[in-house]
């Protein structure tokens, strides 16, 4: 019997080895240089990249599109699936976005992947959005019919994929957008833009599920992470945010009813020198929706203006009916072990909707200090129902 087991084990190991070598053998490299790409920092490489992608995508095994080190000028590109096998997009070099204003509005995305499965974007390279050339053209804070500057990297309807070991600098708009994605892991990425650059969100997501953002460093001029509607099973952990506007849900319900947002966990993160820490924002509008089952746990705040803030009366530029309040119902939100310093007096603000009060709110083990003139930090609640558990500083308003 023991000998049978041993034979079986040897057989299994052999099988595993054969399988592994096959997997290895199946990876074929498609080097952009062989498709005419030139790393001189000025020639546009869009066509060479698309040609390499098309061949890699048609390959029956694992296709690796390879971008060696060097600086590549790249205009707008759209990489489309479905592909015949797994896809790797391995960037060791630096990709530079256009600085010619004529090219800014060609598409709302600089580098776009659509309908791809089993995609891995990695390699330690850099996406340089060259945003400084375009931020002055962002007139959206004053002009409602403004044109949208491009997002640097966007994945649409892309499943079972990874983005790791990548740097994204100075995007003209959002650095990374996920839309309609399922099962994507983002890890070890660095996103960086100046604290005063307009609308340069780090990671923005909508209509997606099973997304993990881990071990990443984000500093921008807008939200480090922005979560819009139709999201569930989202895990964020080991993220450092600052400068920026914090880790946000919303703004929700500005123009229509929203799809549910639920099962979001933010754990073991550090926010420093941001305007907000953990923020949830819904417009004062008649549009309905639900946000529920959120957990924020083990978060450190350093010099954050609004460490915990729910604002359901959001209405910038007086676009809404001042007597209306949000119709989005927020429930079952837990803040646990949130510590550090607030740069404003109000460390905790739960400003919920009169029409749909927040329910099952839970504050637990909160220790936030207001570091100015020995004044204690304060908390403010309206239309928020729930419970709090010690120790609590500021004293809870729940």
Q: Is 162 near ligand NAG (CB under 6 A)?
A: no
Instruction: Please confirm, yes or no, whether 245 is among the known catalytic residues.
Output: yes
- String of b and e for 250-289 (b: at least 16 CB within 10 Å)? bbbbbeeebbebbbbbbbebbbbebbbbbbbbbbbbebeb
44 near ligand NAG, judged by CB under 6 A: no
Minimum distance from CB of 144 to ligand NAG (Å)?
A: 18
Residue whose token pair is 């650095």: 175
Q: Is 36 left (phi over 0), alpha (psi -120 to 50) or beta?
A: left
The correct pick among 27, 240, 293, 295 for binding ligand NAG (CB under 6 A) is 293
Is 287 among the residues that bind ligand NAG (CB under 6 A)?
no
236 is written with which tokens?
């964020």
| Marked catalytic residue, from 76, 175, 245, 327 | 245
Query: Measured from the CB of residue 150, what is the shortest distance to ligand NAG in angstroms?
Result: 22
Residue list 167-196, contact with ligand NAG (CB under 6 A):
182
Site string for ligand NAG, 45-84 (x = CB under 6 A): ------------------------------------xx--
Q: How far is the CB of 283 from ligand NAG (least distance, A)?
A: 11
Residue 322 C-beta: closest distance to ligand NAG, Å: 8
Q: How many residues bind to ligand NAG according to rule CB under 6 A?
A: 21
Helix, strand, coil percentages (3-state) for the chain, rounded to 5, are 15, 55, 35
β pairing state of 346-351 and 306-314: parallel
Stretch of 18-26, 163-171, 241-249, 316-324 lying at the interface with ligand NAG (CB under 6 A) = 316-324
Asked if 282 is part of the footprint of ligand NAG (rule: CB under 6 A), the reply reads no
Backbone angles phi, psi at 48, to 5 degrees: -60, -40
Distance, CA of 165 to CA of 188 (rounded, Å)? 5
Considering only residues 351 to 390 of the shown chain, the ones binding ligand NAG according to CB under 6 A are 351, 380, 382
Contact pattern for ligand NAG over residues 329 through 348, marking x by CB under 6 A: ---x-------------x--
Q: Are strands 288-304 and 327-342 parallel, antiparallel or unpaired?
A: parallel
Long-range Cβ contact pairs of 138-145 (< 8 A, separation 24 or more): 138/172, 138/173, 138/198, 138/199, 140/198, 140/199, 141/198
CA distance 262 to 227: 11
Q: Known catalytic residue: 222?
A: yes
Residue number with CB closer to ligand NAG (109 or 158): 158
Residue 323 in the binding site for ligand NAG (CB under 6 A) = yes
Catalytic residue among 222, 223, 229, 311: 222
Q: Which is nearer to ligand NAG, 32 or 234 (by Cβ)?
A: 234
Residue closer to ligand NAG by CB (options 192, 382) is: 382
- Mask of contacts with ligand NAG, 84-123, x by CB under 6 A? -------------------------------xxx------
Query: Does 313 participate in binding ligand NAG (rule CB under 6 A)?
Result: yes
User: Distance between the two ends of the chain, CA-based, in angstroms?
Assistant: 66
- d(CA 22, CA 95) in angstroms, rounded, equals 32
Q: What would the 3-class secondary structure string for 107-154 be?
A: CCEEEEEECCECEEEECCCEEECCHHHCHHHCCCCCCCCCCCCCEEEE
Question: Would you please indicate which residues are annotated as catalytic (active-site) residues?
Answer: 222, 245
Q: For binding to ligand NAG (CB under 6 A), which residues are involved? A: 81-82, 115-117, 157, 159, 182, 262-263, 293, 313, 321, 323-324, 332, 346, 349, 351, 380, 382
């Amino acid at each position: 019997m023991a000998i049978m087991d041993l034979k079986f084990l040897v057989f299994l190991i052999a099988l595993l080895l054969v399988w592994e070598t096959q997997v290895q053998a199946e990876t074929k490299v498609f080097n952009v240089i062989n498709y005419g790409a030139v790393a001189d920092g000025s020639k546009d490489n869009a066509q060479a990249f698309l040609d390499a992608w098309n061949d890699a995508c048609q390959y029956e095994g694992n296709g690796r599109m390879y971008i060696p080190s060097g600086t590549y000028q790249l205009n707008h590109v759209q990489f489309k699936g479905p592909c015949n096998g797994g896809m790797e997009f391995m960037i060791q070099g630096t990709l530079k976005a256009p600085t010619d204003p004529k090219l800014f509005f060609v598409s709302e995305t600089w580098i776009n992947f659509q309908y791809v499965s089993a995609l891995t974007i990695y390699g330690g390279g850099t996406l340089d959005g060259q945003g400084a050339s375009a931020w002055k053209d962002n007139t959206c804070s004053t002009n409602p019919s403004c044109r949208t500057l491009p997002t640097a990297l966007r994945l649409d309807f892309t499943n079972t994929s990874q983005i790791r070991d990548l740097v994204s600098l100075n995007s003209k708009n959002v650095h990374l957008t996920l839309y309609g994605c399922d099962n994507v892991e983002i890890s070890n990425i660095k996103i960086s833009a100046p604290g005063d650059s307009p609308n340069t969100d780090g990671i923005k997501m909508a209509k997606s599920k099973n997304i993990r953002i881990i071990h990443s460093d984000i500093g921008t001029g807008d939200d480090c992470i922005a979560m819009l509607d139709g999201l569930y099973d989202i895990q964020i952990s080991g993220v450092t945010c600052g400068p920026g506007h914090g880790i946000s849900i919303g703004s929700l319900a500005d123009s229509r009813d929203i799809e549910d947002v639920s099962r979001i966990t933010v754990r073991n993160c550090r926010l420093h020198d941001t305007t907000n820490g953990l923020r949830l924002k819904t417009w004062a509008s008649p549009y309905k929706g639900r946000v529920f089952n959120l957990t924020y746990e083990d978060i450190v705040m350093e010099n954050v203006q609004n460490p915990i803030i729910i604002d359901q009366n959001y209405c910038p530029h007086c676009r809404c009916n001042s007597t209306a309040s949000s119709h989005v119902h927020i429930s079952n939100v837990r803040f646990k072990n949130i510590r550090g310093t607030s740069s404003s007096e109000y460390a905790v603000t739960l400003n919920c909707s009169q029409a749909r009060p927040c329910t099952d709110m839970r504050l637990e083990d909160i220790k936030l200090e207001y570091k100015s003139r020995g004044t204690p930090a304060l908390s403010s609640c309206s239309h928020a129902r729930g419970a709090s558990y010690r120790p609590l500083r500021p004293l809870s308003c729940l």
